[in-house]
């Protein structure tokens, strides 16, 4: 199964607070430089990379001289605001030494639960990856409230893996992986090298404790792996202090705990598209568009659509029928019904001229399309 790691073309790497801040002593720039060097090596082997970085609150605590993580939300927000400045600057300067460009993205739960904002975030991340820019993502602790906080950056990383359709989620932690018993209490505890993410026996092994700096423990990392598995991604929980850890994972070395999904990424996504969402409208396709979808597995362009029925928003599920009214596919529309009505029959280059903007070149992208 380690070939699934070596063959992964899009990685989400999450690094926890304890690692980033040397257990609370401030940002560990030497360790950051080592991880950056490894991430740059992955990038130069053609791998898309997204970094989910904890550490803003912990870095702020260090700069403010606080020894314990506060529980009051306004104090957490203040610490995050102070720490975010140094955290982002440190990542940017470290990547810049290798002539790699970075972009900061701050997310809250609302950004991924609201469909329109979810699509906007996905479009931004996809564009950054196409431009060869490494997104550095963190929870927006400075404005988050108890109701919209992810609760931990492990969960955030799993949601980002779904957002960018990653093949692999790597969670770097201060332990070498998941153990079959608590290694601090049982010297015979062994690392679990591979398991199915949905294996119920893992819950007892994960325990429930969290570190002093972060909000998550091994239980949240297991939960994150299960969230990632729903979209077909593999996850590795592994020690971030292991020498050349990312290089060695990519080489196929058996490090950390590999948690596998029930289905591959495409299979999981297609199953979700086919049966999980209600349809909100119908697009009628001409013969050329029908062939492009069913035979050539291409995206649906506006030029091949002859009629729009229903009332739907951007990101909602629509049915695609041929000129005889037979359903051939369904997918997530990049445009609302009002917008689609204006651009059907037009080539993609005419969308900006007609609408004044272009959300996407495709009416439905092939990644968001399932053939029936």
> Are 218 and 284 contained in the same domain?
no
* Residue 102 banded pLDDT, cuts 50, 70, 90: very high
For residue 185, tell me if it sits in a domain: yes
DSSP 278-327: -EEEEEEE-HHHHHHHHTT-PPBPGGGEEEEEE---TT-EEEEE-TTS-E
Domain boundary residue among 246, 266, 286?
266
Per the model's pLDDT, the better-predicted residue between 21 and 152 turns out to be 21
Residue with tokens 């409230």: 145
- Report if residue 271 sits inside a domain: no
Pair (222, 349) in one structural domain = no
Q: Report whether 71 contacts 31 (CB < 8 A).
A: no
Q: Output the pLDDT for position 162.
A: 86
Query: Is residue 233 in some structural domain?
Result: yes
Determine, yes or no, domain membership for 52: yes
Same domain, 21 and 119: yes
- Residue 254 shares a structural domain with residue 309: no
In this prediction, residues 67-95 reach a mean pLDDT of 88
Structural domain boundaries, residue 8? 3-266
Question: How far apart, in whole angstroms, are the C-alpha atoms of residue 211 and residue 35?
Answer: 21
111 and 91 part of one domain: yes
Q: Do residues 227 and 285 share a domain? A: no
Pair (174, 59) in one structural domain? yes
Same domain, 312 and 178: no
Distance of CA 285 to the CA centre of its chain: 33
Question: What is the tally of structural domains in the chain?
Answer: 2
Boundary of a domain, candidates 266, 285, 306: 266
Residue 360 placed within a domain: yes
Question: Average pLDDT in the 65-85 region?
Answer: 85
Question: Confidence class of residue 265 from pLDDT cuts 50, 70 and 90?
Answer: low
Same domain, 134 and 212: yes
SS3 260: strand
CATH of the domain at 95: 3.40.1160.10
Judge whether 175 lies within some domain: yes
Residues 126, 191 within the same domain: yes
The predicted-structure confidence for 267-296, as pLDDT tens digits, reads as follows 656 655 665 457 889 999 999 999 999 999
| Helix, strand, or coil (residue 159) | helix
281 and 253 within one domain: no
Interval 196-248: pLDDT, tens: 998 888 888 876 544 444 444 788 899 999 988 988 899 999 999 999 999 99
CATH code of the domain in which 354 resides: 2.30.130.10
The predicted pLDDT at position 271 comes to: 59
pLDDT digits (tens, 9 = 90+) for 5-19: 889 999 999 998 888
* CA distances (Å), origin 181, targets 192, 206, 207, 221, 312: 10, 8, 9, 16, 51
For the cut 80, the answer to whether the pLDDT of residue 153 exceeds it is yes
Considering the domain boundaries, does residue 161 fall inside one?
A: yes
Query: End of a domain among 218, 233, 266?
Result: 266
**Distance of alpha carbon 187 from the chain centroid:** 35
| pLDDT at res. 270 | 63
Give domain status of residue 64, yes or no: yes
Same domain, 250 and 287: no
Tokens of 10: 């899009």
User: Residue range 102-131: average pLDDT?
Assistant: 85
- Looking at residue 269, its pLDDT comes to 61
Q: Whole-model pTM? A: 0.78
């Amino acid at each position: 199964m380690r070939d699934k790691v070596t063959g992964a073309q899009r990685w989400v790497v999450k690094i926890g607070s304890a690692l980033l801040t040397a257990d609370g002593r401030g940002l560990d720039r030497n360790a950051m430089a080592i991880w950056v060097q490894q991430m740059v090596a992955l990038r130069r082997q053609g791998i898309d990379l997204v970094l989910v970085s904890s550490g803003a609150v912990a870095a702020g605590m260090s700069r403010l001289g606080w020894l314990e993580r506060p529980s009051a939300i306004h104090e957490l927000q203040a610490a995050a605001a102070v720490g975010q400045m140094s955290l982002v600057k440190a990542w940017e300067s470290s990547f810049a030494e290798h002539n790699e460009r970075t972009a900061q993205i701050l997310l809250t739960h609302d950004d991924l639960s609201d469909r329109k904002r979810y699509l906007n975030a996905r479009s931004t991340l996809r564009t950054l990856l196409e431009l060869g820019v490494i997104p550095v993502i963190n929870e927006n602790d400075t404005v988050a409230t108890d109701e919209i906080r992810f609760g931990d950056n492990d969960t955030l990383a799993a949601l980002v893996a779904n957002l960018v359709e990653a093949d692999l989620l790597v969670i770097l932690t201060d332990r070498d992986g998941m153990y079959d018993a608590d290694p601090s209490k049982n010297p015979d505890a062994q690392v679990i090298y591979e398991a199915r993410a949905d294996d119920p026996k893992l819950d007892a092994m994960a325990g429930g404790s969290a570190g002093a700096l972060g909000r998550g423990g091994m239980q949240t990392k297991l939960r994150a792996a299960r969230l990632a598995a729903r979209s077909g991604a593999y996850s590795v929980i592994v020690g971030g202090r292991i020498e050349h850890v990312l290089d060695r994972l990519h080489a196929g070395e058996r490090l950390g705990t590999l948690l596998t999904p029930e289905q591959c990424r495409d299979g999981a996504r297609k199953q979700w598209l086919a049966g999980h969402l209600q349809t909100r409208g119908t697009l009628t396709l001409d013969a050329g568009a029908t062939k492009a979808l069913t035979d050539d597995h291409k995206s649906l362009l506006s030029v091949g659509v002859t009629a729009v029925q229903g009332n739907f928003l951007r990101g909602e599920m629509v049915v695609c029928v041929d000129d005889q009214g037979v359903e051939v596919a369904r997918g997530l529309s990049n445009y609302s019904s009002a917008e689609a009505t204006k651009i059907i029959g037009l080539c993609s280059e005419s969308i900006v001229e007609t609408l004044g903007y272009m959300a996407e070149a495709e009416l439905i992208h092939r990644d968001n399309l399932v053939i029936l």
